[in-house]
């Protein structure tokens, strides 16, 4: 009976182990560096936040009889669907007529959308140069290019949109990198919390709350109901003695 002999691993084996270890460490280091690419959220002073009014971004006549307020998240797929399918009709048939004003307030769901705050900053900085709605449309149209599934560094595609629009890039970049409008964004979100928003998109047609991706017909029905209420109240007030 021949005794089994122990064989020692060859130098090639050790070299392979070292290569795997070094390569794995390199991959982990690369992944860690990518995780750090996106700017860390800027801390907000609660006292300053409390003193900051939620204004959002308005399209149309600010004194229109019907005010539609959307609490939205730029990384929300249902918000993107509303922006692509329903909102063009709302703008053309309701806002352009002077009947409705449309207001967008950020409600970033940061717990599930890692790049949504970056998009809100991109839009706020575009607004500083008078192009919020252009950036709003571009963000939703290009959502799959910059969302959390697409990249851990949304700055590059967002800056590309700003450049496409002809924005002053040094100003936009300085605004974006400094998170200049973080208080305004957080004030919009706080207003949503105050109104008990718990998902996006959420709409208020004057005081009537509606949730989810609305069709034009559903939205128009609520607008007509609000107008009927406004006219009824006006008639009632006319009948009161002055």
- The CATH number of residue 54's host domain is 3.40.30.10
| pLDDT single digits (tens) 150-182 | 999 999 999 999 999 999 999 999 999 999 999
Within-domain flag for 32:
no
Whether residue 39 lies inside any domain: the answer is: no
pLDDT tens figures, 10-30: 444 344 433 433 344 443 333
On whether residue 75 sits in a domain, the answer given is: yes
Q: Average pLDDT in the 107-111 region?
A: 97
Q: Count up the domains in the chain and report the number.
A: 1
Contact 184, 148 (CB under 8 A): no
Say what the pLDDT of residue 29 is: 39
CA atoms within 13 A on the CB side of 87: 24
Per-residue pLDDT, 91: 98
| pLDDT for residue 32 is more than 90 | no
Q: How confident is the model at residue 242 (pLDDT cuts 50, 70, 90)?
A: low
For 40-92, what is each residue's pLDDT tens digit? 778 888 999 999 999 999 999 999 999 999 999 999 999 999 999 999 999 99
pLDDT tens digits, 114-164: 999 999 999 999 999 999 999 999 999 999 999 999 999 999 999 999 999
The confidence score (pLDDT) of residue 19 equals 43
pLDDT for 1: 43
pLDDT of 7 above 90 = no
The answer to whether residue 213 scores a pLDDT higher than 50 is yes
**18, part of any domain:** no
198, part of any domain:
yes
Sheet containing strand 66-72, edge to edge, reads 57-59, 100-106, 66-72, 202-205, 208-211
Q: Residues near 137 by Cβ (< 8 Å), separated by ≥ 6?
A: 83
The Cα 3–Cα 231 span in angstroms is: 103
Query: In this predicted structure, what is the pLDDT of residue 4?
Result: 41
Identify the weakest region by mean pLDDT among 1-15, 97-111, 156-170, 179-193: 1-15
Q: What is the pLDDT of residue 3?
A: 42
State which residues form the domain around 153.
Answer: 46-236
Q: What's the angle, vertex CA 86, arms to CA 111 and CA 226, rounded to 5? A: 95
10 Å Cβ neighbour count for 187? Answer: 23
In a domain, 15, yes or no: no
pLDDT the model gives residue 233 = 82
Residue 145 lies inside a defined structural domain of this protein: yes
Average pLDDT, the chain: 86
The predicted structure's pLDDT at residue 88 = 97
Establish if 66 belongs to a structural domain: yes
3-state SS assignment for residue 207: coil
Taking the C-alpha atoms of residue 140 and residue 119, their distance in angstroms, rounded to an integer, is 10
Query: Which pLDDT does position 98 carry in this prediction?
Result: 94
């Amino acid at each position: 009976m021949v005794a089994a002999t122990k064989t020692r691993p060859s130098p090639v084996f050790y070299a392979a182990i070292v290569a795997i270890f070094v390569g794995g460490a390199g991959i982990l280091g690369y992944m860690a560096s990518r995780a750090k690419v996106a700017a860390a959220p800027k801390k907000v002073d609660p006292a300053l936040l409390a003193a900051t009014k939620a204004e959002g971004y308005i399209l149309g006549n600010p004194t229109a009889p019907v005010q539609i307020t959307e609490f939205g998240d730029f990384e929300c797929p249902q918000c993107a669907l509303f922006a692509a399918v329903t909102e063009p009709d709302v703008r053309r048939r309701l806002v352009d007529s002077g009947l409705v004003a449309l207001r967008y307030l950020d409600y970033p769901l940061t717990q599930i959308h890692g790049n949504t705050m970056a998009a809100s900053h991109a839009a706020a900085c575009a607004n500083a140069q008078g192009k919020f709605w252009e950036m709003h449309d571009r963000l939703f149209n290009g959502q799959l290019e910059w969302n959390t599934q697409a990249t851990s560094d949304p700055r590059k595609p967002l800056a590309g949109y700003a450049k496409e629009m002809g924005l002053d890039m040094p100003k936009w970049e300085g605004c974006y990198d400094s998170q200049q409008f973080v208080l305004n964004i957080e004030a919009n979100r706080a207003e949503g919390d105050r109104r008990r928003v718990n998902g996006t998109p959420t709409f208020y047609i004057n005081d009537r709350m509606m949730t989810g991706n609305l069709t034009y017909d559903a939205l128009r029905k609520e607008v007509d109901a609000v107008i009927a209420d406004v006219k009824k109240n006006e008639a009632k007030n006319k009948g009161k003695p002055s």
